[in-house]
Structure 1
């Protein structure tokens, strides 16, 4: 493997690796051992569901369960080593880039999985768009350090000119052949994976990607983890690269969804009392899809949020301009100051509700229905968000402006467990 820190020409530099994959004959089914990314699993329900699906489900590596963080990470490392020793997981015979396809109804997404040379934001090659939570980075770093593996790929995007050339041309030819694996997960998505090993194909992909920069669509904490672990090394090597899925959104546009907030210790009644006279508050009719339509309509006019957790839905919109002027930090682009996530964190969480951004107080949930259900169970408040447009995200990233943490959810996300990267075996 080339061990440069980043591509000399300033573009994306992706290299093949020997994928670590499940051996089909040693597991019940491939679908039963896969998982959503670690931060999408709704704990505890989702975790228990995945653990019971198959004794070798990948969730036992990405979300190990033990009494202390150190014990969790050590358990994951021991489980990974045992599965390799028992032949549950095995390395592919030669280094490859992997073409990955996801399909469901009218959704078709294809991209390339490989080991991408790491770069910092000031190099302008890989652009983050969200802030990260230090405690999450520390936990992911400890897990990755202990297992010495990239257990799941980040989701990155770039934009070509939209023509079927370069990397896209290679992908679209490769998918005409037989895949390494094919499965359909319980969410209805079919997944297929092909290996690209031909030197000419690899060169063509490399030359094409070297002309582009990428946006982190999903995986900011894992990217920050990659950089932290790289900086711990005394010499360049495998830690200078991280496992990513790279999607050309000119050919395969992603869908952007919101990430919702669950305020664990704030009852809906208290939330509504505190926000009175600072936002317009309206009760809206359910069920949930209908309430979300009301949120979408209001979001088209300005900042809007939907509160749930007491069996009803409450729309907050038309914030008091004086409140925003007083609480939203100046010195940032207007697009950043007008983001729902900015207004939520700066005005509502910090000044109106006075809720600290800690795991005990705020849970970030991708699934809308799950956020409502959990709020009702805990007696808390679900703050349902409307998604940000991708062009807003990309433009802020190009300006070097990061959005509040957990502002967006791009998808569909890659299934975890289809291909892993060992940093000491491959």
Structure 2
């Protein structure tokens, strides 16, 4: 992420033998990929991806069955079958993988490898969000049963030498013919290279050995890695986890908000409960114009946009006494002012009395999808404005975690381009 870690006490990234689709055995590499498991947001997302190609990676990361145990067993069987049938194949030698995403003027490059897991609080890998225990349990069951890291986490660090070390290896590698190249339906082109030269690997690992990283995307999977590591009785493959590391000094990430769908709360009831304590006004659509109004309001203080009844309701100017009463006082002021903090402590817990459980709240990355799902369900979409990256970084440095699902860093790596077996 941010500043160099203490020498000898930084990131430890090692090569691994990547597990990859055999292009000749699938319709196309683009058709077998997926967004990360928690970003499949379109109403027909799973059906769309499963029908696009019978070997789409969602059959492993989001298997469909009646119980968690059956889902996990199904994913493990599918993985074994695809290996036996030659759909997936292990690369012949260990490698670090340079990964590139490009769309228009946006270019992002990073390195994929197996990262040594470090205990919480050691200052090497910095989380910035809380996690939901039930999601960690779900991901742990899947990872344990399949014995595989099915999709990389997205971590960021700040390189000091943009023309040397890891950066030099990444740029040189990107000038060579890639292992694979494909373009997904979102318009992103993806390229992947294997770095197997011992000197290049040494240059990357030595550079990263002085760094610390911020978890940009994948807090639940990182918590899952740590949980499964603790279950092992001896050192081994479970002491490492699959990650993509991006130097944001060279390739800045985009930060977006993650929205909430309140499944059982109609908009009229939501507005009525907030009216005594907030200023609420209707703003003009369409959705992009309403989001622009939200962005402008968020620069001045806490702001939320409610939708789901065909209108857009801008919520601003909370009662200061209410905030003081409902938001914890033992945290930094930057944390207390976060929209996600006020949303959970004041709106959800105090005024709406909605439990933070999947049957009540869905966390959705796509703005249009959140509104559409609220309209269909008769619920409320709560749309948020993104947090500035500097705020995320500063809080993480202080060891302060933000409310769960506060941010969405991107672009996120496509799932399915390279996997890591733990067997």
TM-score (norm 2): 0.98
Equivalent residue, structure 2, for 1:209: 208
**Distance in 2 (alpha carbons) for counterparts of 1:324 and 1:8:** 43
Equivalent residue, structure 2, for 1:376: 375
**1:186 pairs with 2:204:** no
Equivalent residue, structure 2, for 1:344: 343
The Cα shift of 1:44 comes to 4.4
**1:62 pairs with 2:58:** no
- Contact kept, 8 Å, 1:36 with 1:413, in 2: the verdict is yes
Q: Secondary structure at the match of 2:38?
A: coil
The Cα shift of 1:306 comes to 0.3
The Cα shift of 1:10 comes to 1.0
Equivalent residue, structure 1, for 2:334: 335
> Which 4+ stretches in 1 moved above 6 angstroms?
none
- Contact kept, 8 Å, 2:96 with 2:194, in 1: the verdict is yes
- Contact kept, 8 Å, 1:264 with 1:361, in 2: the verdict is yes
Q: Secondary structure at the match of 1:122?
A: coil
Which moved further from structure 2: 41-50 or 354-363?
Answer: 41-50
Equivalent residue, structure 2, for 1:125: 124
The Cα shift of 1:8 comes to 8.8
**1:400 pairs with 2:373:** no
The Cα shift of 1:274 comes to 0.4
**Distance in 1 (alpha carbons) for counterparts of 2:225 and 2:252:** 26
Equivalent residue, structure 2, for 1:362: 361
The size of the alignment, in residue pairs, is 419
| Cα distance per residue 1:348-369 (max 9 Å; x no partner) | 0000000000000000000000
CA 1:162–1:260 in structure 2 vs 1: closer, same or farther (change >3 Å)?
Answer: farther
The Cα shift of 1:165 comes to 1.1
| Cα distance per residue 1:94-134 (max 9 Å; x no partner) | 00000000000111000000000001221110000000000
Equivalent residue, structure 2, for 1:353: 352
TM-score (norm 1): 0.97
Equivalent residue, structure 1, for 2:3: none
Structure 1 residues not aligned, in runs of 5+:
1-6
**1:422 pairs with 2:410:** no
Equivalent residue, structure 2, for 1:170: 169
Equivalent residue, structure 2, for 1:4: none
| Cα distance per residue 1:341-399 (max 9 Å; x no partner) | 00000000000000000000000000000000000000000000000011110110010
Equivalent residue, structure 2, for 1:263: 262
**Distance in 2 (alpha carbons) for counterparts of 1:147 and 1:404:** 30
Q: Secondary structure at the match of 2:368?
A: helix
Structure 2 residues not aligned, in runs of 5+:
1-5
**Distance in 2 (alpha carbons) for counterparts of 1:241 and 1:163:** 27
The Cα shift of 1:43 comes to 5.9
Equivalent residue, structure 2, for 1:138: 137
- Contact kept, 8 Å, 2:42 with 2:369, in 1: the verdict is no
**Distance in 1 (alpha carbons) for counterparts of 2:119 and 2:163:** 30
Q: Secondary structure at the match of 1:314?
A: strand
Q: Secondary structure at the match of 1:123?
A: coil
- RMSD over aligned Cα, in angstroms? 1.1
**Distance in 1 (alpha carbons) for counterparts of 2:8 and 2:164:** 20
- Contact kept, 8 Å, 1:162 with 1:251, in 2: the verdict is no
CA 1:385–1:86 in structure 2 vs 1: closer, same or farther (change >3 Å)?
Answer: same
